[in-house]
């Protein structure tokens, strides 16, 4: 369920509807259903022996999937894990709030918390590195060291190496959808009617691939490459201007 935004154009919405047609097909595939079961099994195994743990979210596509897996875990009466957003400030993507609010409206039974993590600015621009660590430390203090994330091997070399070395779970972390493709993620969101961040439809009518779009903080120094700065300037010029 795509969350609508004033930033979306008619062409964006038309392109999104075509993409949803593919999601409708993919969610019927046996391989997709096996991956859902594998993710649930990994989450159950990881949380079975954990006295304390939490689900890390940022309201992007992957974390919404993991948050919904936590809903399933609770409804199966296995564990109730809090959802925790480490919110970088200033400059978090403003449309994350609408996704958050819709998810919480749909699943009010899920405990929820937010931890603000101030970004720092220097001559190069805004940075989250060096400040997010404090957010994780606070999350650990509140909810324990063990946590579940939406990390996927497809998202980068470091994440792929993590999955190949450890699989879904290490002693302290769990990546239940680590082996999923972006097709699996979008199909899961579609078949479960979950809120989808509008950024994934901000493709200028297909010029950008939705698989490569992110809901990370705006104007992050380390994330300006590969067209990211141009995309932000096109869809979030007001936020960029506030941060400059």
| C-alpha radius of gyration, the chain, whole number | 18
Strands (E), the chain: 54-57, 83-89, 112-118, 120-122, 125-127, 147-148, 173-174
Domain boundaries in the chain? Answer: 10-243
What CA–CA distances, in Å, run from 221 to 97, 200, 218, 231?
23, 21, 9, 14
CB within 8 Å of 55: residues ≥ 6 apart:
63, 66, 67, 70, 81, 82, 83, 84, 147, 148, 149
Looking at per-residue confidence, does 50 or 22 come out higher? Answer: 22
pTM of the predicted structure, to 2 decimals: 0.93
* CATH code given to domain 10-243: 3.40.50.620
Distance CA 205, CA 215 (A): 18
Q: How far apart are CA 215 and CA 210, in angstroms?
A: 11
| Whether the predicted pLDDT of 45 surpasses 90 | yes
Label the pairing between strands 125-127 and 120-122: antiparallel
Beta strand 120-122 with 147-148: parallel, antiparallel or unpaired? unpaired
Rounded to the nearest integer, the mean pLDDT of the chain is 91
pLDDT bucket at 223, cuts 50 / 70 / 90: low
21-43 pLDDT, tens per residue? 999 999 999 999 999 999 999 99
- Whether the per-residue pLDDT at 127 is higher than 80: the answer is no
Per-residue pLDDT reduced to its tens digit, 174-208: 999 999 999 999 999 999 999 999 999 999 999 99
Count the Cβ atoms, other than its own, within 10 Å of residue 194: 20
């Amino acid at each position: 369920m795509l969350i609508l935004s004033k930033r979306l154009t008619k062409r964006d919405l038309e392109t999104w509807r075509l993409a949803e047609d593919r999601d409708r097909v993919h969610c019927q595939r046996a391989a997709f259903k096996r991956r859902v079961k594998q993710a649930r099994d990994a989450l159950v195994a990881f949380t079975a022996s954990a006295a304390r743990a939490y689900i890390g979210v940022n309201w992007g596509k992957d974390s919404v999937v993991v948050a919904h897996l936590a809903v399933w875990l609770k409804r199966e009466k296995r564990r109730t894990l809090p959802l925790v957003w480490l919110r970088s400030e200033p400059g978090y993507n403003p449309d994350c709030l609408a996704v958050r609010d819709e998810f919480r409206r749909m699943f009010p039974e899920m405990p929820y918390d937010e931890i603000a993590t101030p970004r720092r600015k220097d001559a190069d621009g805004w940075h989250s590195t060096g400040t997010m660590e404090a957010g994780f430390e606070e999350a650990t203090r509140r909810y324990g060291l063990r946590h579940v994330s939406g990390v996927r091997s497809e998202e980068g070399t470091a994440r792929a190496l993590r999955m190949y070395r450890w699989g879904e779970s290490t002693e302290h972390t769990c990546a239940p959808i680590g082996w999923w493709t972006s097709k699996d993620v979008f199909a899961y969101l579609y078949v479960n009617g979950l809120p989808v961040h509008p950024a994934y439809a901000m493709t200028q009518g297909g010029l950008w691939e939705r698989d490569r779009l992110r809901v990370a903080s705006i104007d992050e120094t380390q994330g300006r490459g590969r067209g990211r700065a141009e995309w932000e300037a096109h869809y979030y010029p007001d936020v960029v201007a506030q941060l400059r």
